[in-house]
A and B are shown apart, each in its own frame.
Chain A
Amino acid sequence: AQSVTQLGSHVSVSEGALVLLRCNYSSSVPPYLFWYVQYPNQGLQLLLKYTSAATLVKGINGFEAEFKKSETSFHLTKPSAHMSDAAEYFCAVSDRSSASKIIFGSGTRLSIRP
Chain B
Amino acid sequence: EAQVTQNPRYLITVTGKKLTVTCSQNMNHEYMSWYRQDPGLGLRQIYYSMNVEVTDKGDVPEGYKVSRKEKRNFPLILESPSPNQTSLYFCASSNSFYYYEQYFGPGTRLTVT
Which A residues are within 8 Å of any B CB, using their own CB? Answer: 9, 32, 34, 41-46, 49, 51, 90, 92, 94, 99-102, 104-107
Contacts and interface: CB of A to CB of B under 8 A. Distances in A.
A54 to B, nearest CB: 17
A99 B96 contact: yes
Given A99-B50, A101-B45, A44 B90 contact: yes
A57 to B, nearest CB: 13
Contacts of B90: 43-44
B42 A102 contact: no
A44 B100 contact: no
Contact of A106 (B31, B41, B103): B41
Given A99-B99, A100-B50, A45 B104 contact: yes
Nearest to A45: B104
Nearest to B99: A99
Given A45-B103, A49-B101, A100-B50, 6 more contacts: A49-B100, A99-B50, A99-B99, A100-B31, A104-B43, A106-B40
